Structure 1
Amino acid sequence: MKYRVLGKTHLKVSEIGFGGIPIQKLTQEEAAKVIHKAEETGINFIDTARAYSCSEEYIGKALKGRRKNWIIATKSMARSYEDMKRDIEISLKNLNTDYIDLYQLHNVKDIASYKEAFGENGALKALLEAKEKGIIRHIGVTSHSLDMLKHMIENPLVETIMYPYNVVERQAIETFKLAKERNIGIIAMKPMAGGVLSDGKLALKFILKDDFISTAIPGMASIQEVIENVSASKEEITKDEIELCDNIYKEMDKEFCRRCGYCAPCPQGIDIPFSFILRGYYVNYDLKDWAKERYNNLKAHASDCRECGICETRCPYDLQIRKMLKEVKKTFGY
């Protein structure tokens, strides 16, 4: 396994990290076996979140007696001081540790949520207090919005960013380069494009060819996935493989949502990008219950679409959004 420096944190992380979303569908014992195998291969960076149901707890139990071998990252959707303070304590308990290496503000998707989190009595205040006490070591942000990513790398308190990067989603390359110049650690999420890319090894080799990436975090739910993913760290990508990736990009360019949010607002109140994300988790990751619960909690659903087509006029990628929403409706039943 090769290691890279996670920006200004100075942490040396495995260039392939462990994404903690899919272990939700395993038992505690199964999850521990997968995590222990990852450790054997040299993976030392593991990412989870408060929102990933039992993921934090599974990781905490699996790492008992092994904490020193791991760099743990988690994240919270909390935006207020009190909510973040509470979530930090819950994460510490779940992860069975007295400190967390990287705590991230999860899915900061617009200026309103950014201002709330970074405001006078926002979540950042709780993170800074916890950092002073040594309870957390570093602070990061995650987002699906490129506009927000550009905004957040301007903040000197941000030590790491997490954003989608894969064969299909290449829209952040210039922003990543700018972030690297500012010594911000870059964590590539969705390396398999939400599960739509079938060749995991190729997908990771494509990402790892770029030195501005600190680590890529594919979700892993089996020992076989660990072995396949780690193999990407042992080989350089070839010219023919890059050409293959470019062909995949061209084929999928008009069918894949980059979650940029330009389609919003929907007149019916549908959160179009998040609906597509949840369908991906349901279909590609087999996280059916987790995805359905979150879909049920949405204020509006794919069945509410009146096919006005306004979203398609705004989409910079010319996606057939109405057709894609019908697939969401078919998946969830409404």
Structure 2
Amino acid sequence: MHKRRLGKTNFEVSIIGFGGIPIQKVSKEEAIELIMTANKQGINFIDTARGYGKSEELIGYGIEKCGRDKFIIATKSPVRDYEGMKKEIETSLKALRTDFIDLYQLHLVRTEEQYKMVMSENGALRALKEAKSKGLIKEIGITSHDVSILGKAIETGEFATIQFPYSPVERQGEKLFERANKLDIGVIIMKPVAGGAIKNVTLSLRFIIENPNISVVIPGMDKINQVIENSSVGKDVKPLTDEERTVLMKEAEELGSEFCRRCGYCAPCPQGIDIPTQFVLEGYYLRYDLKDWAKERYQKLQYKASDCIECGQCEPKCPYNLPIRQMLKRVSKNLGDD
């Protein structure tokens, strides 16, 4: 597995890391097997979060089985205040079954108000800096879906890494990555297949690691074959051919910009609607000529797009500012709910 230096952390990380969102869906035994497979395939960087259900806990079991020295562990919390972050760090340490965490990140800083809060005297950054001075964490990072927020953050000198979405369909971060590289700040890439919307997974990963400003990309994985296939990209690094690039860019163009990345931040819906699933099934209906199959699956859902009462609670939580209520109406129309 090829490795790159994660900015000023000086961590040598596998260019393909392990994204910890989907592992929360598997059993303890399956989680251990996934982490052991990742280790065998040369993956040494694992990213998880307090907000990923049982992800930290399950990854902790796997790390314990393989050995703590085999991995560079990154986690994160959306808590914005000092006291809250102190508690989050303690919880992460226990869940991950470790005495220290290599990289702790401020998670999904979305607004200027949130940024000012975390950076304030009573903000979460202060708690992270104290934890670092005590050896509980080694480095501090920040994640966001907002280029301007990370653009400010990297100029402060407070952060060793940033985490941001990047794929053939989301390229707004390229200038940010260049600047981060000049400042010796590690760049971690999330949403490398746009939340599952991009079907040419291997091509998308190869496209991302072609960018020399990228340190590591973290596709989410919950199956052994995914670990093996994704890690292979980091073992045999080769540029895309013209034909492969054409295929990938055609898919990106067809996706457009108004699509769900399946990040799940819109949940929970008060009406019980699994919002990302509505859009996944619509995608099968519209893009993959699986109309009957998609409609059949959709009709079996307990709560469908037509159950939306337009309360709007989901939309402020979407990091992509999608018009979810309008999109759900479209799903209902396309999949025959009317």
TM-score range, shorter chain: 0.7 to 0.9
Q: How does 1:23-62 map onto structure 2 within 5 Å?
A: 23-62=23-62
User: Shift of residue 149 of structure 1?
Assistant: 1.9
Residues 193, 281 of structure 1: alpha-carbon distance in 2 compared, 3 angstrom cutoff: farther
| Matched position secondary structure for 1:141 | strand
Number of residue equivalences: 297
**CA distance in structure 1 between the partners assigned to 2:113 and 2:45 by the alignment:** 31
After superposing the two structures, state which structure 1 stretch, 183-192 or 140-149, moved more. Answer: 140-149
Structure 1: gaps spanning 5 or more residues: 260-271, 286-295
Residues 257, 29 of structure 1: alpha-carbon distance in 2 compared, 3 angstrom cutoff: closer
Residues 37, 185 of structure 1: alpha-carbon distance in 2 compared, 3 angstrom cutoff: same
What TM-score does the superposition give when structure 1 sets the normalisation length? Answer: 0.81
8 Å Cα contact 1:257-1:273 kept in structure 2: no
**CA distance in structure 1 between the partners assigned to 2:11 and 2:332 by the alignment:** 43
Q: Equivalent residue for 2:276? A: 280
Q: How does 1:111-150 map onto structure 2 within 5 Å?
A: 111-150=112-151
Q: How does 1:230-249 map onto structure 2 within 5 Å?
A: 230-233=231-234, 234-236=236-238, 237-249=240-252
Residues 119, 187 of structure 1: alpha-carbon distance in 2 compared, 3 angstrom cutoff: same
**CA distance in structure 2 between the partners assigned to 1:183 and 1:75 by the alignment:** 21
User: Shift of residue 129 of structure 1?
Assistant: 0.5
Residues 145, 76 of structure 1: alpha-carbon distance in 2 compared, 3 angstrom cutoff: same
8 Å Cα contact 1:303-1:329 kept in structure 2: no
| Matched position secondary structure for 2:194 | coil
**CA distance in structure 1 between the partners assigned to 2:48 and 2:69 by the alignment:** 17
User: Shift of residue 200 of structure 1?
Assistant: 1.5
Q: Which amino acid aligns with 1:46?
A: I
Q: Equivalent residue for 2:95? A: 94
Q: Equivalent residue for 1:229? A: 230
Structure 2: gaps spanning 5 or more residues: 269-273, 282-302
User: Shift of residue 323 of structure 1?
Assistant: 4.1
What TM-score does the superposition give when structure 2 sets the normalisation length? Answer: 0.80
8 Å Cα contact 1:34-1:222 kept in structure 2: yes
Residues 176, 329 of structure 1: alpha-carbon distance in 2 compared, 3 angstrom cutoff: farther
Q: Which amino acid aligns with 2:47?
A: D
**CA distance in structure 2 between the partners assigned to 1:255 and 1:81 by the alignment:** 36
User: Shift of residue 211 of structure 1?
Assistant: 0.7
| Matched position secondary structure for 2:24 | helix
8 Å Cα contact 2:162-2:186 kept in structure 1: yes
Q: Which amino acid aligns with 1:2?
A: H
Residues 324, 121 of structure 1: alpha-carbon distance in 2 compared, 3 angstrom cutoff: same
Residues 181, 329 of structure 1: alpha-carbon distance in 2 compared, 3 angstrom cutoff: farther
User: Shift of residue 122 of structure 1?
Assistant: 0.8
Residues 224, 282 of structure 1: alpha-carbon distance in 2 compared, 3 angstrom cutoff: farther
Q: How does 1:262-277 map onto structure 2 within 5 Å?
A: 274=266
User: Shift of residue 251 of structure 1?
Assistant: 1.5
**CA distance in structure 2 between the partners assigned to 1:146 and 1:31 by the alignment:** 33
**CA distance in structure 1 between the partners assigned to 2:105 and 2:277 by the alignment:** 21
Cα deviations across residues 213-234 of structure 1 (Å, max 9, x unaligned)? 0000000001100111112121
Q: Equivalent residue for 1:187? A: 188
User: Shift of residue 205 of structure 1?
Assistant: 0.5
User: Shift of residue 320 of structure 1?
Assistant: 7.6
8 Å Cα contact 2:31-2:58 kept in structure 1: yes
Identity of aligned residues (%): 48
Q: Equivalent residue for 2:289? A: none
